[in-house]
Structure formats: structure tokens, C-alpha cells
């Protein structure tokens, strides 16, 4: 039996978000349930649905906050040096962030919206903001390419790095290789940039 609310709606909302975040950090998504959240905050499970429509909406809020934290970290990355050096630092910052709270980061990979539902526009906007520094860093490396091509390259690189972080935070990297995740990410960026440098002159020569 839940107790009578002694919190404002906003306080209760934050209690639920904090408790859910802690559960995911400690036990992963498999340890999450409305009953467990309610137990931790001292309310009945039904209270959650007075604040959030469902668990999916609650998890999207937590994911969005994580994306905001990462965006701030990327914005604070040193932008001095050559474009390739800047890009390597951005990717390094990205990878380091994902390793700090691996189970929470895995939420972005494990949480799936129910069939027929897509993520809301505000969530997609956060993803776009997250990728903006990568787009900007790659622009000087692809000056002869149109914006859509630069965007595609940035997302190809991001998806590749994201895949490595997912394997690493799921503690499955050792199943694939003995190398540490950061060295693999550095190698990926170096190889990708080398490929871009080879492609640019060839493309210009036929223009």
C-alpha cells in the first residue's frame, strides 16, 4: 500500500527518474520494473502512471538526459590543432563517456520502443545536437563534398564508434579481441581518415 504523497508533482517526477536511473546503473534494464521503482521511492506502482504514461516514456527521459550530458562533454572538448586531431579527441571523449556508466549507456541500445511507436521529435533533436560537433569536425576534411555527403560520413563514423562502445560496455569486447576498446577506436578513426584522404584526390581528379 503506497503512502499518501508528501511531494509535489515535480519532486515526485524527479524521485522516479532518479530511482529508475539508479536501478539501471546497478542492475541494467533487466532489473527494472514499475514495482521495483515504486519500492525504492516508497509509493505504489500506480503512482508511476500518474506521472508517466508508461515505462517507455520514463526511459526516454533518462536517455535524453544522458545524451545531454554527453553533448555537453563533447562541447567542452579541445578544438585546437588540425581537423583530424580534433576529430580524434571528440571520438576519445565520446568513448570515455560511455565507459563511465556502462549499464546506463547500454540503455540506449537495449531499450526498444513498442511496435508502431517511434521516438518523439524532441528526442531526435537531441541526437542531432549530439552529432553536430562531429559534423563540424569533418567539414574541413571533406570540403569538396556536399553537406549531405559530409553528414553521411559523420554518421558512418559515429555508428562504427557507437558499435564498439556497445560491445565494450556490454563486456563482450574480450570475446572478439584482446585489444582494449580505446585502442580499437583510435585505429578505426585513423583508418577512416586515411581512407577519406585517399578518396578526395581521386574524386577531384575526375571532376
Q: Write the pLDDT tens digit of every residue in 94-116.
A: 988 998 998 999 998 889 999 88
Class of domain 1-52 (CATH, top level): mainly alpha
Q: Which pLDDT score, from 0 to 100, does residue 166 have? A: 80
Quick check: 203 pLDDT over 60? no
Cell triple for 142: 571533406
Quick check: 202 pLDDT over 50? no
Q: Which pLDDT score, from 0 to 100, does residue 10 have? A: 93
Give domain limits for the chain: 1-52, 68-205
Element containing residue 51 per DSSP (H, E): helix 45-51
The separation between CA 118 and the C-alpha centre of its own chain, rounded to angstroms, equals 17
Q: Which pLDDT score, from 0 to 100, does residue 165 have? A: 83
Q: Which pLDDT score, from 0 to 100, does residue 2 have? A: 46
CA gap 192, 179 in Å, rounded: 19
Say which range, 8-17, 36-45, 62-71, 151-160, has the weakest mean pLDDT: 151-160
CA gap 29, 110 in Å, rounded: 7
Cell triple for 12: 515526485
Q: Which pLDDT score, from 0 to 100, does residue 206 have? A: 42
- Record: fold of 68-205: Tetracycline Repressor; domain 2 (1.10.357)
Integer-rounded Cα Rg, in Å, for the chain is 21
The separation between CA 7 and the C-alpha centre of its own chain, rounded to angstroms, equals 31
User: Does the model's pTM come out above 0.85?
Assistant: no
Amino acid at each position: 500500500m503506497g503512502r499518501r504523497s508528501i511531494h509535489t508533482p515535480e519532486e515526485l517526477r524527479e524521485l522516479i527518474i532518479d530511482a529508475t536511473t539508479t536501478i539501471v546503473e546497478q542492475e541494467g534494464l533487466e532489473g527494472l520494473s514499475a514495482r521495483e521503482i515504486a519500492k525504492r521511492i516508497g509509493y505504489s506502482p500506480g503512482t508511476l502512471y500518474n506521472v508517466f504514461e508508461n515505462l517507455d516514456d520514463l526511459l526516454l527521459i533518462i536517455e535524453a538526459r544522458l545524451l545531454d550530458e554527453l553533448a555537453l562533454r563533447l562541447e567542452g572538448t579541445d578544438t585546437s590543432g588540425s581537423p583530424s586531431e580534433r576529430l580524434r579527441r571528440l571520438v576519445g571523449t565520446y568513448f570515455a563517456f560511455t565507459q563511465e556508466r556502462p549499464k546506463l549507456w547500454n540503455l540506449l541500445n537495449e531499450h526498444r520502443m513498442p511496435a508502431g511507436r517511434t521516438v518523439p521529435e524532441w528526442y531526435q533533436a537531441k541526437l542531432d545536437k549530439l552529432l553536430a560537433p562531429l559534423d563540424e569536425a569533418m567539414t574541413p576534411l571533406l570540403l569538396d563534398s556536399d553537406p549531405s555527403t559530409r553528414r553521411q560520413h559523420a554518421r558512418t563514423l559515429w555508428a562504427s564508434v557507437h558499435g564498439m562502445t556497445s560491445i565494450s560496455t556490454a563486456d563482450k569486447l574480450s570475446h572478439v579481441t584482446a585489444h582494449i576498446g580505446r585502442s580499437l577506436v583510435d585505429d578505426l578513426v585513423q583508418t577512416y581518415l586515411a581512407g577519406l584522404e585517399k578518396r578526395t584526390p581521386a574524386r577531384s581528379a575526375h571532376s
